[in-house]
Amino acid sequence: MIVPPGSTIGIIGGGQLGRMMALAAARLGYRCHIFDPHEAPCAAEVSAEFTRGAFDDEAALARFADACDVVTYEFENVPVGPIAALGDKLRPGTRSLEIAQDRAVEKRFLEGAGARVAAWREVGSVEQLDAAVAALGVPLVLKSRRLGYDGKGQAWVRDPAEARSAWDSIGNAPAVAEAGVAFEAEFSVLIARTHDGQTRAFPPPRNVHSDGILCHSTVPAGQPIEAMAETAIATAATLADALDHVGMFTVEFFACADGALVNEIAPRVHNSGHWTIEGAVTSQFEQHVRAICGLALGSADLVADGAVMDNLIGGDVDAWAAILAAPDASLHLYHKGEARPGRKMGHVTRLK
Ligand code: AMP
Rounded to two decimals, what is the model's pTM?
A: 0.96
Class of CATH domain 8-90: alpha beta
Rounded to the nearest angstrom, the distance between the alpha carbon of 114 and the centre of ligand 1 is 20
- Please write down the long-range contacts of 229-236, taking CB distance under 8 Å and 24 or more positions apart: 229/187, 229/189, 229/203, 229/204, 231/259, 231/260, 232/187, 232/189, 232/204, 232/260, 233/189, 233/191, 233/201, 233/204, 235/114, 235/115, 235/189, 235/260, 235/262, 236/189, 236/191, 236/201
List, for the chain, all residue ranges whose pLDDT scores fall below the cut of 70.
148-151
Closest ligand 1 atom to the C-alpha of 150? 2
The rounded radius of gyration (Å) of the Cα atoms in the chain is: 20
Class of CATH domain 185-351: alpha beta
Q: Which of 78, 38, 98, 86 is nearest to 62 (CA)?
A: 86
CATH topology of domain 119-179: Dna Ligase; domain 1 (3.30.1490)
Q: Where are the domains of the chain?
A: 8-90, 119-179, 185-351
Q: What is the pLDDT of residue 48?
A: 98
Pick the residue whose CA is nearest to atom 14 on ligand 1. 212
CB of 139 closer than 6 angstroms to any ligand 1 atom:
no
Rounded to the nearest angstrom, the distance between the alpha carbon of 2 and the centre of ligand 1 is 38
Terminal C-alpha separation, the chain: 39
Q: Which of 172, 188, 194 is nearest to 232 (CA)?
A: 188
DSSP state of 347: E
Q: What is the pLDDT of residue 258?
A: 94
CB of 224 closer than 6 angstroms to any ligand 1 atom:
no
CB of 76 closer than 6 angstroms to any ligand 1 atom:
no
Element (H, E) at 155: strand 154-157
Residue 123 and residue 155 in contact, taking contact as beta carbons nearer than 8 Å: no
